[in-house]
Amino acid sequence: MTDTPAQRVVFHGVTGSGKTSAAHSYARTTGVPKFSADEDLGWLPGWTSRPIEDQYRIAASIAAQERWVLDSAYSSWRDIILDRAELIVFLDYPRWFSLGRLIRRTVSRIVTRQRICNGNIETLRRALARDSIIAWHFRTFTRKREAIAKIIADPSMPPVLTFQRPRDLDAWIAAGARHSGT
């Protein structure tokens, strides 16, 4: 175990696994600045996708810093982040768990009209659309798990710390988020 937590960390997992909450907890515990893939890179107001060139530029700016935790990395700019990451934290939870978490979160946001991702609001219409976050969960579940398997198998990649139960992740963060391998 190292004496200090990793200073450049990316969280990975399927949609609904709790990456943003986990990254926030890690940042609060370690003092490492947190960035959000959706908020800081992906979405503009009106659910408009930020142009990919801007996403690359922002990802490169974050990666160049000495300290950061990122709650995800889109496949289109993941390589920029992984080149500088010290640790990948993989939330490898069962599909039923992540999907249940995603549905509860989506319903709560619809009811409360909570503003997310640069002022955007989730609506019932958006939740039922073909391109909804719930549909995205189904379209990307296998692909995201395959991507992490490739990363784990690649010795040039940063170490991957895998959690299969939220309570184990919570215990690791509560203990100071120390790890070996860097």
Q: How confident is the model at residue 1 (pLDDT cuts 50, 70, 90)?
A: very low
Residue 161 lies in a domain: yes
pLDDT digits (tens, 9 = 90+) for 117-152: 888 899 999 988 888 889 989 998 999 899 989 999
Average per-residue pLDDT for the chain: 91
Domain count, the chain: 1
For the stretch 67-123, pLDDT in tens is 999 999 888 899 999 999 999 999 999 999 999 999 999 999 999 999 988 888 999
Distances (CA, A) of 41 to 49, 55, 73, 142, 145: 9, 5, 9, 23, 22
Which CATH number do you get for residue 101?
Answer: 3.40.50.300
**182 within a domain of the structure (yes/no):** no
| Domain, as residue range, for 88 | 8-174
